[in-house]
Chain A
Amino acid sequence: MVSVVYEAPDSIEGAVNLLANADVPAHILAGGTDLIIQTNGSSDAERLFVDVKKIAGMTEANLTDTALVLGPSMSCAAFTECDDIKAVFPGLVEAAYLIGSTQVQGRASVGGNLCNSSPAADTIPALIANGAQCVIAGPGGERTVPVEEFVTGVGRNCMEKGELLKQITIARPAANTSDAYLRFIPRTEMDIAVAGAGVSITLDDNGTCTAARVGIGAVAPTALLVPDAAAALVGSTLDDAALQAAADAASAASSPITDRRGTVEYRRQVVGVLVKRAATIAAERAKGG
């Protein structure tokens, strides 16, 4: 059995100190829904768990006039109850709502989903679509990384020893902007994405798309920002040709694997379809419809 040393510091500095000075493998404990399982089967003799949920701001979300500031360890259950955030970022909230069962929602968090860095994480394409920024605290101070650069590989991210995700921030979108996230799973609930797509759309008064961001998940080692898909949408009224071009761009950007959830060909096709549908839903929402 692994022996765990548990610390629950009440400040970012305290957490960074513990993480930076650890001489055994150190882990950040947020909701624990991934970490506790991963540790069960581990062969390490000793591990340090730094519970970050006692640190001010870690489990809260704050939507101001200019930005959403999300405490990375806020449970998905609490996050998805925030009606003000849902009104502005419905797609991001939907993505958070798709993670696990009611019980898992009670502990799992958006920041945990991001830091676990699974290729199939539901919130990452939605965060990418919304241009989220990751504020990382470490021994040398703070740095900010765009979410599409945060994850660097399967289960890997850019955080160095001693670093900790302090906040996820998203600028409040322009008027007539909204988002959507869709994933495909073979069941209706409690499954892992075969493919996922998050899209944010800004429209002008004539219904022409003036800005877009497209994030795709589960079709490459990391979730991807797809600028070509966004470019296919901008300037259009989201007509069939533009949607198809965006879908084709997303399929082309993907580099999926075949596993028991789906084949390369299937995932490539489905991710395009999801981009089309998510773009259509985001545009409907952006119209206020």
Chain B
Amino acid sequence: MAKSHVSTSINGEPVEYLCDPGDTLLDVLRNELQLTGTKEGCGSGDCGACSVTLNGRLVCSCLVLGVEAEGAEVGTIEGVGANDKLHVIQEKFLEHAALQCGVCTPGLIVSTKALLEENPNPTEEEARYYLAGNLCRCTGYDKIIRAVMDAAETMREGA
């Protein structure tokens, strides 16, 4: 089977890759591009561990084909902070101990960033609904929500 050639942009950088047309974007990120920050929890769109943005929209990368990224802009967890500086959302997750095993964390941080870009001042209920597609087996969610609300407040003050 011939591989497809794809030109895309990941975290603002032009990237080219070859993939099987049946490979998901998640497969490509992790196996082809070694961007292993994006996690696979379920591979069926249920858990949100694989969350990335595609042309600014939050999506499950396990439900996108690698070939569909042609000409698109992809945002992953690797693009959230800078090399030597964590994003406020990442700092708040640490501060509030909003993670244990950490498998859900990249997806939650990417989703939280998308939430706060859309709605910088969410109510707790809005945050919980927006993040309902990100499952966490460990924390019980409460610390995550506290981190999200604190990050939102800090980002509003900084703005």
Contacts and interface: CB of A to CB of B under 8 A. Distances in A.
Given A4-B22, A190-B133, A102 B65 contact: no
Contacts of A106: 54, 57-59
A102 B111 contact: yes
B117 interface: no
Interface in B115-154: 115, 129-134
Given A40-B43, A40-B44, A100-B133, A6 B63 contact: no
Contact of B65 (A6, A37, A77, A104): A6
A206 interface: no
A176 interface: no
Given A33-B45, A36-B65, A3 B132 contact: no
B118 to A, nearest CB: 9
B51 A1 contact: no
Interface string A21-37: 00000000101110011
A51 B24 CA distance: 14
A102 B129 CA distance: 8
A107 interface: yes
Contact of B63 (A8, A53, A104): A104
A6 B133 contact: no
Contacts, number: 90
Contact of A36 (B1, B24, B48, B129): B24
A37 B45 contact: yes
Given A103-B111, A104-B45, A2 B63 contact: no
Interface of B: 1, 4, 20-22, 24, 43-45, 48, 51, 54, 57-60, 62-65, 67-68, 70, 111, 114-115, 129-134
Contacts of A280: none
Contact of B4 (A1, A6, A103, A189): A6
Contacts of A32: 63-65, 68
A107 B129 CA distance: 18
B115 to A, nearest CB: 8
28 contacts: A1-B22, A3-B1, A4-B20, A4-B21, A6-B22, A6-B67, A31-B63, A32-B68, A36-B24, A36-B65, A40-B43, A40-B44, A49-B65, A101-B45, A101-B48, A101-B133, A102-B58, A102-B111, A103-B51, A104-B63, A106-B54, A106-B58, A107-B54, A107-B63, A107-B64, A189-B132, A190-B132, A190-B133
A102 B64 contact: no
B64 A6 contact: no
A3 to B, nearest CB: 5
Nearest to A37: B44
A145 interface: no
A39 B133 contact: no
A77 B132 CA distance: 15
Nearest to B60: A103
A100 B130 CA distance: 11
A53 B57 CA distance: 15
